[in-house]
A and B are shown apart, each in its own frame.
Chain A
């Protein structure tokens, strides 16, 4: 059991999560471009989804979100579900692409992070917390998405390592694959 855990993605994702959370709660609360806190943990969830696909992205995003909820004190599961969604959305692009160019991964990460961050006020509303003002939400989503895109060249390889994925993983459309 312990051996399995040590060799599984969990053993790599949790330490990465702790380091990213430490950065999130120290450096990134001070560095606020346009008054927005860059979400590095969310960016990692999205980048992992971009390199790992839908399921892995959602599961890693969920794990990172749970850690985030535990660290920040937000209701347990609230951030987890938004980060799972970010990983899922970022992973959708992997179903269609052939090669994993860095800029495609960056774009997927940005879209995933944007969707994840935009879902935060929606989830808060669902769990009965007061509605977050829509003012500034666009700025928040754009800045978080751009930051995820910029961080993607670093976070995508990290996500690939955490999931033990090969760097070049060709993916062919089903009709061509059946011919091969």
Chain B
């Protein structure tokens, strides 16, 4: 039988057309397909439960084989890190409380303003091209599509599919993920050095004191140290320079598992030169953004200069370690524009 017989061609054409039709209908949104997905999930569940039970010993054996050395090394490193962060944590907690008080005082939004649901990760995406995880909380717990997922370290992703008792979260690293962010940069330059065309806010804090800091350290510890200086002994305090806070908004997009997410600017400007490696990145919020403002996202890991008027891009080192998620918190937030609808 030849490779391209009439019958064979008909089969291939029929399958290709069916695929195209299904894709078109599904991408436009189809309730019938959604119902079919829900029904199929129910049908598959007993099989999955049986497979989980049967494969548990194999999984444990595999983990013991593949993870032991790495876990031992990581454990030692983490112990050292925990010791180092213990003191910083106390200062940070104080700062958070004061920050929330200030935000409440000024009627500004903060993450603490929203209810949230804590969920456990129960699965990962079985494909090699999607960065998604499944959690054990769903629509009956108030979760809706689009809500942001966070953990203690910061933004994890957003909810993309909701079933009654489970949901799927698209991680920040997924190539389809995008969120508006702001980059907060603490600069020490004088106002006449400010690059034109950027939104800048200058916060003058004369006589502000920091423990044992020099000018370089101010840059990294501004957010904490401004609110913790009162609890620290005076003898360690030093005078700090004027602090300039630069905020620039852009869109953060995932780049897949192996590459860092990137921020491209809404108004790209080749003269952009104030953002530096180590600057902090937060969600920008806004009436159409799916995430509320000021969720920590990460730090600038690399500033990429592009030719011409393409402006610059930033590579962001994410705060949460997405490969080791156990629990996430779904912030029950919906943008004002959606609530109005």
Cα–Cα distance between A58 and B11 once the two chains are bound (Å): 8
B residues near A29, Cβ cutoff 8 Å:
123-126
**A73 is an interface residue with CB less than 8 A from chain B:** yes
Cα–Cα distance between A88 and B21 once the two chains are bound (Å): 20
- Summarize B's interface: helix, strand, loop or mixed: helix
A residues near B16, Cβ cutoff 8 Å:
81
Please state if A76 and B33 are interface contacts (CB–CB under 8 Å): yes
Please state if A25 and B15 are interface contacts (CB–CB under 8 Å): no
Cα–Cα distance between A62 and B124 once the two chains are bound (Å): 23
CB distance from A100 to the nearest CB of B (A): 16
**A131 is an interface residue with CB less than 8 A from chain B:** yes
Please state if A21 and B44 are interface contacts (CB–CB under 8 Å): yes
B residues near A35, Cβ cutoff 8 Å:
257
Cα–Cα distance between A84 and B52 once the two chains are bound (Å): 28
Cα–Cα distance between A66 and B33 once the two chains are bound (Å): 11
The answer to whether residues A81 and B51 also contact, given A24-B126, A70-B40, A133-B175 and a CB cut-off of 8 A, is: no
Number of interface residues of A (CB under 8 A): 55
Please state if B27 and A54 are interface contacts (CB–CB under 8 Å): no
A residues near B341, Cβ cutoff 8 Å:
none
The answer to whether residues A37 and B126 also contact, given A23-B55, A26-B55, A77-B23 and a CB cut-off of 8 A, is: yes
Please state if A81 and B19 are interface contacts (CB–CB under 8 Å): yes
A residues near B23, Cβ cutoff 8 Å:
75-78, 127
The answer to whether residues A30 and B63 also contact, given A37-B128, A127-B23 and a CB cut-off of 8 A, is: yes
Among B8, B37, B41, B258, which residue has its beta carbon within 8 angstroms of that of A54?
B8
**B36 is an interface residue with CB less than 8 A from chain A:** yes
**B43 is an interface residue with CB less than 8 A from chain A:** yes
Please state if B8 and A55 are interface contacts (CB–CB under 8 Å): yes
Please state if B51 and A73 are interface contacts (CB–CB under 8 Å): no
CB distance from A102 to the nearest CB of B (A): 23
Binary B-proximity of A152-179 (CB < 8 A = 1, otherwise 0)? 0000000000000000000000000000
**A12 is an interface residue with CB less than 8 A from chain B:** no
A residues 68-102 touching B (CB-CB < 8 Å):
70-81, 84, 88, 92, 95
A residues near B12, Cβ cutoff 8 Å:
58, 88
Nearest first, the 3 closest Cβ-Cβ pairs linking A and B are A77-B22, A22-B47, A130-B175
B→A interface (CB under 8 Å): 1, 3, 7-8, 11-12, 15-16, 18-23, 25-27, 33, 36-37, 40-41, 43-44, 47-48, 50-52, 55, 58-59, 62-63, 123-130, 132, 160-161, 168, 175-176, 253-259
